[in-house]
Amino acid sequence: MAGKLPSKTTRLSSLFANNANRMDKKNTHPILMILLVALALRLIGLQSRPIWYDEAFSLLFAEQSPAEILNNTLFSDPDSSAAEEHPPLYYFGLWGWFKLFGISIVSARLFSIFLSLLTVLLIYQIAKTLFDPTTALVAAALTSVLPFQIHYAQELRMYAMLALWLALTTLAFLRARSGSKKWWIVFAASAALAQYTHNLAAMYLLPLALTPLFQRDWKTLRAMTWAGLAALCLYLPWMLQLPAQLAKVSSAFWVERPGFERFFTLLLYYLPHLPLGGIQLMVGFFLAMMVLTLAVFQTYLAWKKKISNIRPALWTAYLAFTPPLLLWLISQFVPVYIERALLPAHAMFCIWLAWAFTQTQTPRFIQGVAAALILTTAGMGIVQHVNYAGFPYAPYANLNHYLRAEARNGDIILHSSKLSYLPAFATDPDLAQGFIVDPPNSNVDTLSPAVREAFQLTEYESIEEAAIQTKRIWLIIFTQSIEEYTTQGFETHPHLEFLSENYMLKTATEWDDLRIFLFTQP
């Protein structure tokens, strides 16, 4: 696909410039309406939706001072891993946001929503530069309503920021190659900021940087090379730390090597989003395949008819699907394949879809069918996103309220792992509860002693250490953790086994995917 992109700088520059100059003031109100819709969808469940381990980590990590954030990102205990394998820019940004708007889960989510809305605007500008205002509005609308974007617009992680910087990098590239040389400065700065946000930004930046090479656009390639070197210089302070961070990923990262099935699940992430269960999964995949088939077919017809904007359209498809392929290939050696890092590529997917159904002489009936399919998949995903309460989520606010009412003085509230403890602790730091730390130097040992101390966490080395201190112990454990042992032939989880042998089970309750056991001594 990339090799068929144009080879003449002047032709592409003229095409981009002409499209970018099609200003239509009537589109001001529609884009505002789209932003309002995007905001409304991103506010659903803002306060009620529970957080999970990674989000709790972000919340607690960003409460530290910038110096502590930097120190705990770069350095670690000799016998443990660093606190965080990602660069610190998101945490610095969230720290500054907290200074302005206060520390809370809602405030942190509003930070991600703000970044996501800026991304919607950038996608509108990219599509308008490449095509026309109508396509730009449709692309912005798709970015606003597709659940993949909505999910990470709410999450307390760095992916909304990553999408923002890479969308700005893409826009800067288009503006710079059209003759606005000052945009190369924006390109270099935003590319560096993307890398300071997430190490996997390179999965998008590399295909973007290779564009002028594939197009044999030597003038742009020279300018891109200088801008890329400037970005690398800006990124150099962190690049010196990159080997240590990659070593951490190799030794203490939960991601498994992806198989070919990820090419099918990618489509599910791009349209209805995951998780989906049962019949919804089959329906979602079928509808997504129909949308993709229609878009590919319309692209083929446009290529066959040689319509004027086919080349920039193919370029958007290239940026939508090359990053996941590159990430998949690299993950065969160092498993780092996480779909959420593909949020910027998904934004380009939205532009390609918008073009495929507005600029290829698609019959109105097919446009209507495509719109219905996309809205149906979006609706399925949004409903699932709002209502999903399975692993790794749990109703921590209600859980903490229950424990406050039922626990007695002297009881120990113990989480089997950090996965349930950290969100529960972040939701209610004043409730006395603790957790059993990960085995040192294991592939799940990702929370360093220095950070545990900075967060002021209550920890135990073993179930025996916790149990010896009390006659009543509450054990909180994910159902999935129990099933991981039972599927291997064990009778139950070792923590439950120990307590069952030495204590008497008094109560057992279920809170979605969490189970709470109260054990007492006879």
> How many angstroms from the chain centroid is the CA of residue 212?
28
Going by the DSSP 8-state scheme, the letter that residue 436 receives in this structure is: E
* pLDDT confidence band for 488 (50 / 70 / 90): very high
Question: Is residue 454 pLDDT above 90, yes or no?
Answer: no
Report how far residue 437's alpha carbon sits from residue 318's, in angstroms, rounded to the nearest whole number. 44
**Tokens at 114, concatenated:** 């703000």
Q: pLDDT higher for 343 or 467? A: 343
Report how far residue 297's alpha carbon sits from residue 1's, in angstroms, rounded to the nearest whole number. 15
Half-sphere exposure for 201 (CA within 13 Å, toward CB)? 30
Q: Are 72 and 61 in contact (CB under 8 A)?
A: yes
- Tell me how crowded residue 104 is: count the other CB atoms within 10 A of its CB: 12
Share of residues in the chain with pLDDT > 90 (%): 77
**DSSP sequence for 176-245:** HHTT-TTHHHHHHHHHHHHHHH-GGGHHHHHHHHHHHHHTT-HHHHHHHHHHHHHHHHHHHHHHTTHHHH
Residue 275 backbone class (left: φ over 0; alpha: ψ -120 to 50; beta: rest): beta
For residue 247, give every residue at least 6 positions away whose Cβ sits within 8 Å of its Cβ, in sequence order, or none. Answer: none
Using DSSP bridges, classify how beta strands 472-478 and 412-415 pair: parallel, antiparallel or unpaired: parallel
> How many angstroms from the chain centroid is the CA of residue 255?
14
Inter-CA distances, 290 with 42, 312, 367, Å: 26, 23, 13
Half-sphere exposure for 448 (CA within 13 Å, toward CB)? 21
Question: Is residue 33 pLDDT above 90, yes or no?
Answer: yes
For residue 21, give every residue at least 6 positions away whose Cβ sits within 8 Å of its Cβ, in sequence order, or none. Answer: none
Q: What is the number of residues in the chain?
A: 522
Report how far residue 165's alpha carbon sits from residue 169's, in angstroms, rounded to the nearest whole number. 6
Least confident of 59-73, 181-195, 472-486: 59-73
Q: Residue 13's pLDDT is what?
A: 42
* pLDDT confidence band for 79 (50 / 70 / 90): very low
Query: What average pLDDT does range 494-498 have in this prediction?
Result: 95
* pLDDT confidence band for 19 (50 / 70 / 90): very low
Residue 260 backbone class (left: φ over 0; alpha: ψ -120 to 50; beta: rest): alpha
Collapsed DSSP state (helix, strand, coil) of residue 263: helix
Collapsed DSSP state (helix, strand, coil) of residue 519: strand
Report how far residue 519's alpha carbon sits from residue 516's, in angstroms, rounded to the nearest whole number. 10
**Tokens at 200, concatenated:** 């996997």
Q: Residue 248's pLDDT is what?
A: 61
For residue 133, say if its preceding peptide bond is cis, omega within 30 degrees of 0.
no
Inter-CA distances, 70 with 84, 86, 103, 394, Å: 10, 11, 19, 30
Query: What average pLDDT does range 93-110 have in this prediction?
Result: 97
Half-sphere exposure for 521 (CA within 13 Å, toward CB)? 9
Question: Is residue 5 pLDDT above 70, yes or no?
Answer: no
* pLDDT confidence band for 15 (50 / 70 / 90): very low
Report how far residue 131's alpha carbon sits from residue 20's, in angstroms, rounded to the nearest whole number. 8
* pLDDT confidence band for 142 (50 / 70 / 90): very high
Report how far residue 522's alpha carbon sits from residue 510's, in angstroms, rounded to the nearest whole number. 24
Q: Which of 7-16, 239-248, 472-481 has the highest mean pLDDT?
A: 472-481
Side chain identity at residue 97, one-letter code:
W
Q: Is the dihedral of CA 45, 49, 55, 61 positive or negative?
A: positive
Q: Are 514 and 477 in contact (CB under 8 A)?
A: yes
Name the pTM for this structure.
0.91
User: Hunting for tokens 């969808």 — which residue is that?
Assistant: 41
Question: Is residue 23 pLDDT above 50, yes or no?
Answer: no
pLDDT in tens, 417-434: 999 999 999 999 999 999
Question: Is residue 86 pLDDT above 50, yes or no?
Answer: yes
Give the relative orientation of helices 418-427 and 396-406 as an angle to the nearest 10 degrees: 80
For residue 198, give every residue at least 6 positions away whose Cβ sits within 8 Å of its Cβ, in sequence order, or none. Answer: 86, 87, 90, 158, 159, 162, 341
* pLDDT confidence band for 20 (50 / 70 / 90): very low
Report how far residue 380's alpha carbon sits from residue 211's, in angstroms, rounded to the nearest whole number. 35
Side chain identity at residue 45, one-letter code:
G
pLDDT in tens, 366-381: 999 999 999 999 999 9
Query: What average pLDDT does range 196-207 have in this prediction?
Result: 96
Please classify residue 521 by burial: count the beta carbons closer than 10 Å to its beta carbon, then call 0-12 exposed, 13-18 middle and 19+ buried. Answer: exposed
Query: What average pLDDT does range 457-468 have in this prediction?
Result: 92
Q: Which of 21-35, 73-87, 250-264 has the highest mean pLDDT?
A: 250-264
- φ/ψ of 334, rounded to 5, equals -125, 100
Dihedral Cα 405, 408, 414, 415, nearest 10 deg: -10
Q: Can you name the residues that pair with 232 across neighbouring β-strands?
A: none
Q: Are 66 and 92 in contact (CB under 8 A)?
A: yes
